[in-house]
Chain A
Amino acid sequence: MEANLFLKFVKVIKTEAGSLIVRHLQLVFISVTIAILIAVPSGILLTRPRFKSWSSKTMTFFNVAQGLPSLAVVAIFLPIMGIGFLPSIIALTVYALLPILRNTIAGINSINPDIIESARGMGMPSQKVLFSIEIPLALPVIIAGIQTSAVVTVGTAVIADLIGGGGLGRLIFTGISMFDPVKILAGSILAAIIAIAIDQGFDLVHKKVLTPYKGVRK
């Protein structure tokens, strides 16, 4: 019986999982990339003196939004956007924004003000202060935000199948409706592996690429 289950598990992975994994990765990759493109610039903008007063309001809004269950977010988008790949991407992007936005703001605001002051005091134009001082110094924190966002999105993307997004969610939801624990398990395990792989990948980036900003010399 047990050997039978295992064989079935392998068969599910062999025959059905391949394209679903690719679709799942597409969902995660595209939505996180769009989230980065939106959240990093807006985070930076919200640390500029002109917009600083908006920053706490924005953060409150996103914190509340993040409090909504991912299922609810997907459900909200259903009547507005219909079903399919694009609505799934949009829902996931909205959900992926917060960690990146929060970390971008926190990363820039946590830079020692003395460093900024000495840069400005030496006559560095504010644009150059941003690009050669603030962003590089905030980079480890920003990337940590992207890491959180990507890992969370791997989990959220499972739900995207409910609005026709596809991905590993299909395996799980099919399993649920057919009372097939092997499919549920296969979908969950594969999603977990993707999440862990992405997490580890980012750790590697932290260690290899970002060392000059942290403790050890390259």
Chain B
Amino acid sequence: MIKLKNITKIYPGMERPAVKNLNLHIKKGEICVFVGPSGCGKTTTLKMINRLIEPTSGELYINGKNAMEQNPDKLRQNIGYVIQQVGLFPHMTVYENIATVPRLLEWSEDKIAKRVDELLELVGLDPDENRYKYPRELSGGQKQRVGVARAMAADPPIMLMDEPFGAVDPITRTQLQNEFLKLQRKIKKTICFVTHDIDEAIKMGDRIAIMNNGQLVQYDTPSNILFAPKDKFVEDFVGSDRALKVLNLLRVNKVMRKEVPTVKLEMDSKDVIQRITDSGQKYILVLDNKERLIGYVNKNSIIESNEKTNWAKYIKEYSSTLPMDATLKDALAEMLQNDVAVIPITNDDEFVGTVTLGDIRSYVGESYKNGDESENRLVI
């Protein structure tokens, strides 16, 4: 979709190139995150893709066509562009802001009106409430949403985003990130995303391009970046707590134990005690006949009670469960907060398995050994 070949940018009067011999291939429908310290050339690279900055040398192909031979304005009209400070036009309403590119493309006003409403809905803003507002009447998060809507107005196949969530508070940022990922699953754009935040890169990226001093250091999937950093720079940039970052990347369903001993409500206490004994644990999880988790019982409380059938009153509720697409970080946080070592996992209320502290530890440890054999850096 986007191909950069030997792209170099040297600013006049500067000795060191801002970007040097960059080769990169961004696949259709993927989010490619450019990340690196300030001055590494990530923003310059992004702006060379829509030729806001002209490369000194090299070739740029977008959708198979040589972008250097196209009219830059025409090229940009087909590439969505979102920047950190949003850059909404303060003297225009939300409607007029979003209508910018459609108007350049001379759409009919009917079509534009429909598109504006559709986009506002898509980014989670009520069209009737917000259509005629001016940017100063919007909160930071709302502005950013309008910025994204404006970039998508003419449905460009490619979007360039320069620290789009950098200027909002952390809570709004997380919210916007999640919404954007959800949106991306629907719209499947090819996205170039610049950030200096490695956590954001790991969260948002299908692929991460780590840059330093104008050069591409590693271009890889988030898990390869974390498990197999190419050199010391990547390793340092990812941070000494990269094992913790892995937790953010992995979903509980990767680690989950599916064959977990459980008991059903209708069993009698003898069978329940037998099951617990077999499992070697002190307690067991209790499900109802629709496989929904009710809680757990301790072996001792049933034995002490001496009752044959009515063991159900000793069931204790479970303090927390997690859905299957929760991350290992979520699971670990739950464990620490509730002082438990096991978290049941559910899928639409149905119990599907458990995640234990030990499982997380060994899974992350394994991944490390496979990825990087030289050292064994287990932080957890």
Query: How far apart are the CA atoms of A119 and B73 in the complex, in Å?
Result: 10
Q: Taking the nearest CB of chain A, how far is it from the CB of B133, in angstroms?
A: 8
A115 and B76 contacting across the interface, CB-CB below 8 Å: no
Query: How far apart are the CA atoms of A121 and B81 in the complex, in Å?
Result: 6
A118 and B90 contacting across the interface, CB-CB below 8 Å: no
Task: Return the contact of A125 from the options B73, B84, B101, B147 (Cβ within 8 A).
Answer: B73
B83 and A122 contacting across the interface, CB-CB below 8 Å: no
Q: Beyond A114-B83, A117-B83, A118-B86, is A217–B134 a contact (Cβ under 8 Å)?
A: yes
Query: How far apart are the CA atoms of A80 and B164 in the complex, in Å?
Result: 60
Is B56 part of the binding interface, using a Cβ–Cβ cutoff of 8 Å?
no
B90 and A213 contacting across the interface, CB-CB below 8 Å: yes
Task: Return the contact of B77 from the options A115, A122, A136, A213 (Cβ within 8 A).
Answer: A122
Is B357 part of the binding interface, using a Cβ–Cβ cutoff of 8 Å?
no
Task: Return the contact of B76 from the options A121, A136, A215 (Cβ within 8 A).
Answer: A121
Task: Return the contact of A119 from the options B78, B89, B134, B147 (Cβ within 8 A).
Answer: B89
Which chain B residues lie closer than 8 Å to A137 at the CB level? 89-91
Q: Taking the nearest CB of chain B, how far is it from the CB of A58, in angstroms?
A: 24
Is B50 part of the binding interface, using a Cβ–Cβ cutoff of 8 Å?
yes
A136 and B91 contacting across the interface, CB-CB below 8 Å: yes
Which chain B residues lie closer than 8 Å to A119 at the CB level? 87, 89, 100
Q: Beyond A122-B104, A123-B104, A212-B134, is A117–B87 a contact (Cβ under 8 Å)?
A: yes
Residue of B nearest to A139 (CB): B91
Q: Beyond A114-B83, A114-B85, A217-B137, is A121–B50 a contact (Cβ under 8 Å)?
A: yes
- Binary flags per residue of B51-95, CB closer than 8 Å to A gives 1, else 0: 010000000000000000000111111110101111111110000
Q: Taking the nearest CB of chain A, how far is it from the CB of B97, in angstroms?
A: 10
Query: How far apart are the CA atoms of A128 and B79 in the complex, in Å?
Result: 18
- Binary flags per residue of A188-218, CB closer than 8 Å to B gives 1, else 0: 0000000000000000000000001101010
Is A112 part of the binding interface, using a Cβ–Cβ cutoff of 8 Å?
yes
Query: How far apart are the CA atoms of A114 and B144 in the complex, in Å?
Result: 14
A212 and B91 contacting across the interface, CB-CB below 8 Å: yes
Query: How far apart are the CA atoms of A128 and B103 in the complex, in Å?
Result: 12
Tell me the count of chain B residues lying within 8 A, CB to CB, of chain A.
30
- Binary flags per residue of A93-131, CB closer than 8 Å to B gives 1, else 0: 000000000000000000010110111111111001000
Which chain A residues lie closer than 8 Å to B90 at the CB level? 115, 137, 213
Q: Taking the nearest CB of chain A, how far is it from the CB of B74, in angstroms?
A: 7
Contact residues of A: prevailing secondary structure: helix
Tell me the count of chain A residues lying within 8 A, CB to CB, of chain B.
20
Which chain B residues lie closer than 8 Å to A212 at the CB level? 91, 134
Residue of A nearest to B74 (CB): A123
Query: How far apart are the CA atoms of A125 and B100 in the complex, in Å?
Result: 12
B76 and A120 contacting across the interface, CB-CB below 8 Å: yes
Query: How far apart are the CA atoms of A198 and B91 in the complex, in Å?
Result: 26
Which chain B residues lie closer than 8 Å to A115 at the CB level? 87-90
Task: Return the contact of A123 from the options B76, B86, B160 (Cβ within 8 A).
Answer: B76
A121 and B52 contacting across the interface, CB-CB below 8 Å: yes
Which chain A residues lie closer than 8 Å to B100 at the CB level? 119, 122, 124
Residue of A nearest to B84 (CB): A114
Which chain A residues lie closer than 8 Å to B88 at the CB level? 115, 118
Interface residues of B in 137-190 (CB under 8 A from A): 137, 147, 150-151, 160
Indicate the member of A120, A121, A125, A136 with the most B CB atoms within 10 Å: A121
B89 and A122 contacting across the interface, CB-CB below 8 Å: no
Is A133 part of the binding interface, using a Cβ–Cβ cutoff of 8 Å?
yes
Which chain A residues lie closer than 8 Å to B101 at the CB level? 122-123
Residue of B nearest to A121 (CB): B81
Which chain A residues lie closer than 8 Å to B50 at the CB level? 121
A122 and B85 contacting across the interface, CB-CB below 8 Å: no
Query: How far apart are the CA atoms of A217 and B138 in the complex, in Å?
Result: 13
Q: Taking the nearest CB of chain A, how far is it from the CB of B53, in angstroms?
A: 11
Which chain B residues lie closer than 8 Å to A133 at the CB level? 89
Query: How far apart are the CA atoms of A67 and B311 in the complex, in Å?
Result: 99
Sample of 14 further A-B pairs with CB below 8 A, known A122-B151, A123-B78, A124-B100: A114-B87, A115-B87, A118-B86, A119-B100, A120-B52, A120-B76, A121-B50, A122-B76, A122-B81, A122-B104, A122-B150, A136-B91, A213-B90, A217-B134
